Homo-oligomer: A and B are copies of this chain.
Amino acid sequence: MQSYEQSLRQTKQFLLDHDDFLVVSHIQPDGDAVSSTLAVGWLLSCLGKKFSMLNEGPIPTRMNYLWEADKIANMSVNPPERTFSNVICVDCADFQRVGLTQRYFEPGASIVNIDHHPTNNGYGAVQLIKPDAAATAEILYDLLKTFDIAWNIDIATALYTGLLTDTGGFRYTNTTPKVMEAASDLLSHGVKGPELAETLLEEMTLPQVKVLSRALQTLEMSPNGDVAWVSVTPQDMLDCGAANEDLEGIVNYPRNIRGVEVGMLFKVIHDQAVKVSFRSAGKVNVAALAQTFGGGGHTRAAGAKVDLPLEQAIPHVVKEVSRLL
């Protein structure tokens, strides 16, 4: 097994030794996929290499500020007119993630697999995989540093975009010292970090917004304002076309109200059962609280199931929470 430094050198050599590359990323590309495609393209153009960039579908319009984002061909609009024998796959945990773009890979094409997913299954002739990198953009940051090329705002903006989106705006647990150091370096090249954060980090689906709206309509608080809660019924979910994942984050709204110590989301499962999510602002250990209801979790985020109808579950749980405050 070769080291990361060896993989960097091997990848560099592959790029230097060949000409005419196809650069692809995964279907429904996210910020890191688009950025990484463009970062490889930028490097290849600096090296004077021939290359094409391709995706199975369109690039999200909110990323059209990126250098040559319009040069990533959408396969169903302007497919390549030929196949390629050197293919660079970025941010794809497995080969199938490239989608239909593989039609343009020559049989037996040399694949360079550049990725950060811990689940990457190691396809490709050249593998540059770093599972503890926050983003593929972080790996490309390292790769580009091995070349003697002057960086500009275009490449810096692309790499910053990948770091920003894959760390949720430097908020996920993959936000390492290395990520922040790279971000610092990229900002020094003139990246408009604040603008990118606004554009990229706040997307929601329509069902998410709809079910958030329903939930907020049910907002209630304890008399002294230290407990707040919202609820969602199966009918709400149906009306909004919402799945469970669309509820993610809703419990933070009651928790985030100034003065609130415990925020809760009551999700009705059926007539006699409610799932309760607890979020604490710090004073109350909600893991212990959830345990008293047979649930569990962390000190600030926990959950439990209560076998009562919603209208009984709420006062019952609120009473227990208030006892702790």
Contacts and interface: CB of A to CB of B under 8 A. Distances in A.
Contacts of A283: 61, 64
B258 A205 contact: yes
A250 B144 CA distance: 40
A65 B299 CA distance: 12
A56 interface: no
A55 to B, nearest CB: 17
A256 B201 CA distance: 9
What band does the interface of chain A fall in when counting residues whose beta carbon is under 8 Å from B? 35 or more
Contacts of A179: 184
10 contacts: A61-B282, A64-B283, A171-B193, A171-B198, A177-B184, A178-B184, A180-B181, A181-B184, A205-B257, A206-B221
Interface of A: 61-62, 64-65, 169-173, 175-181, 183-185, 187-188, 193-195, 197-199, 202-206, 209-210, 212-213, 216-217, 219, 221, 225, 252-254, 256-258, 261, 281-283, 300
A35 to B, nearest CB: 15
Kindly report how many copies of this chain are found in the complex they form together. 2
Q: Which of A180, A185, A194, A206 has the most CB of B within 10 A?
A: A180
Given A205-B258, A213-B217, A282 B185 contact: no
Given A258-B203, A300-B199, A169 B172 contact: no
A311 B105 CA distance: 55
Contact of A194 (B175, B203, B253): B175
Nearest to A187: B177
A6 B132 CA distance: 42
Contact of A209 (B62, B183, B219): B219
Given A202-B252, A216-B213, A180 B187 contact: yes
